[in-house]
Structure 1
């Protein structure tokens, strides 16, 4: 197996990989729409509007938390479970499906320029959040963190929910996935003979039908605070990951042929998920 162990050697390289990852993902989604559309365009319904500030420049930012039945509902969550989740060390373990729209420039009530983002969540879950202030604060926090991760932002936690406004500006149509990517393998944590754990992971192929173009590995690494402790090797038909010191070890073989030079990796410190995107060589 020819490997490239330099994918995760520095924060600078990770930044470059993230940029390439976004480009590859954007390209993939565009091709999927043309060749095998497993997504649909929706116009989200108004929900609530949150006013906050960007850091450190203190520019006004508005988050339109919208609703749509086209977005999948998250797992059932009681109020007691939410309290426990917020008190835990890893509240990101509960994942809320959402669609994060592109930023758009708007004008506020003072005729000042500002930036708005549209976040779409499941309609039924939105109604639950509306009935309970704790759930509402939770979904705002999740939305803000999602925007920060996607657009490399830092937003103030001193936000305000606007009482007489459900959204700012105009709500744009969004393209969301209607079918899940096929999971060709998904395994859960178990201990290896070396004492390191085999992490929970998923292997997914794009597009869902026809000639595969990308293989994506999503690897959950709870307790790993930085990519600096990760060593990743990507081979033509194999992926090997080690999280030091002796935390996790993963060795995956698959049936596809990977373009190693164009493979990218992205580690999210908040969700503690490593995403490895591997272009498939046409055969």
Structure 2
């Protein structure tokens, strides 16, 4: 039986082209400034400004817990959120799917007004978003909910939702500096709403799933799998990964996906590799913790 070497050469050439494009595709996951210099990744100390203090209980030991919700312009703002969208989120099964960037400080012991020991946590959010929440009771309710949820996820604790906002003080104890991670430039730049509407109408949103690993405790990875039936080559994919957003287009106008993550991700330690056999794009996204 004779072998047609021309067919083998064609297949090998196709494989080499796919591998080359795969490398180019994965480079979109890296942060590459236009000047060609390596990206700047550093930690920065910030001194949070007072905001408001919320009193609650730890349901594990029924001890008083105070949450200082502080503000700083150094913390990035969350994506735009209208009051109509917020109402939809509050009515949904998981209102915390809208992510508010925040820095969660370690617990510190303080004395309350009765000279009793209590536990205090400091949370720092974007200053402009905090002011917006102060002016709108609905946004304030949402901010408190996601703050308590963030503390519960990070410290594997359970807090009572029977809360009290202290009227005569903006924080309990003392506010200390926090160390947050900063980056030089976002991978995905701000997109004008008119540009978003240019996307052809025939492009459809593919099926996808997003899993958190580990499922309990502090998240380390987000595992995303995107189903792309009919996409025979990775060369037709355009993938952009930001700190909290994934944008995928499959040309020519086959699929379009634009989603926000529930956590900040570290682009430099994330990876993706398209399988032409299963026509699935699996991605392992490393969760970035703001310490």
Cα distance 1:165–1:81, how it changes in 2: closer, same or farther (>3 A)? same
Instruction: Supply the distance in 2 between the matched residues of 1:150 and 1:71 (Cα, whole angstroms).
Output: 18
The reply on whether 1:88 has 2:119 as its aligned counterpart is: no
Q: What SS is found at the alignment partner of 2:183?
A: coil
Report the alpha carbon displacement of residue 216 of structure 1 after superposing the two structures with TM: 3.4
Cα distance 1:276–1:97, how it changes in 2: closer, same or farther (>3 A)? closer
Instruction: Supply the distance in 1 between the matched residues of 2:52 and 2:86 (Cα, whole angstroms).
Output: 21
Q: Please name the residue that 1:151 is paired with.
A: 155
Report the alpha carbon displacement of residue 84 of structure 1 after superposing the two structures with TM: 1.3
Q: Please name the residue that 1:59 is paired with.
A: 63
Q: For residues 51-88 of structure 1, what are the alpha-carbon distances to aligned partners after superposition, in whole Å with 9 as ceiling and x for unaligned?
A: 00001310110000000011111112122221111112
Q: For residues 135-171 of structure 1, what are the alpha-carbon distances to aligned partners after superposition, in whole Å with 9 as ceiling and x for unaligned?
A: 1111011111001101111000001000001000110
> Of the two, which has the highest radius of gyration?
2
Instruction: Supply the distance in 2 between the matched residues of 1:146 and 1:189 (Cα, whole angstroms).
Output: 29
Cα distance 1:124–1:193, how it changes in 2: closer, same or farther (>3 A)? closer
* TM-score, with structure 1 as normaliser: 0.56
Instruction: Supply the distance in 1 between the matched residues of 2:286 and 2:169 (Cα, whole angstroms).
Output: 40
Report the alpha carbon displacement of residue 189 of structure 1 after superposing the two structures with TM: 5.8
Q: Any gaps of 5 or more consecutive residues in structure 1?
A: 1-35, 207-214, 218-236, 241-247, 253-273, 278-283
Number of aligned pairs?
A: 185
Q: What SS is found at the alignment partner of 1:190?
A: coil
Which residue, out of 33, 43, 47, partners 1:43? 47
Q: Please name the residue that 2:224 is paired with.
A: none
Task: Give the conservation status (yes or no) of the 8 Å contact 1:181–1:205.
Answer: no
Q: What SS is found at the alignment partner of 1:77?
A: coil
Task: Give the conservation status (yes or no) of the 8 Å contact 1:183–1:204.
Answer: no
Q: Please name the residue that 2:206 is paired with.
A: 190
Task: Give the conservation status (yes or no) of the 8 Å contact 2:266–2:285.
Answer: no
Task: Give the conservation status (yes or no) of the 8 Å contact 2:109–2:120.
Answer: yes
Q: For residues 33-55 of structure 1, what are the alpha-carbon distances to aligned partners after superposition, in whole Å with 9 as ceiling and x for unaligned?
A: xxx65231110000000000001
Q: What SS is found at the alignment partner of 1:82?
A: helix
Q: What SS is found at the alignment partner of 1:178?
A: strand
Q: What SS is found at the alignment partner of 1:176?
A: strand
Instruction: Supply the distance in 2 between the matched residues of 1:146 and 1:121 (Cα, whole angstroms).
Output: 12
Cα distance 1:181–1:114, how it changes in 2: closer, same or farther (>3 A)? farther
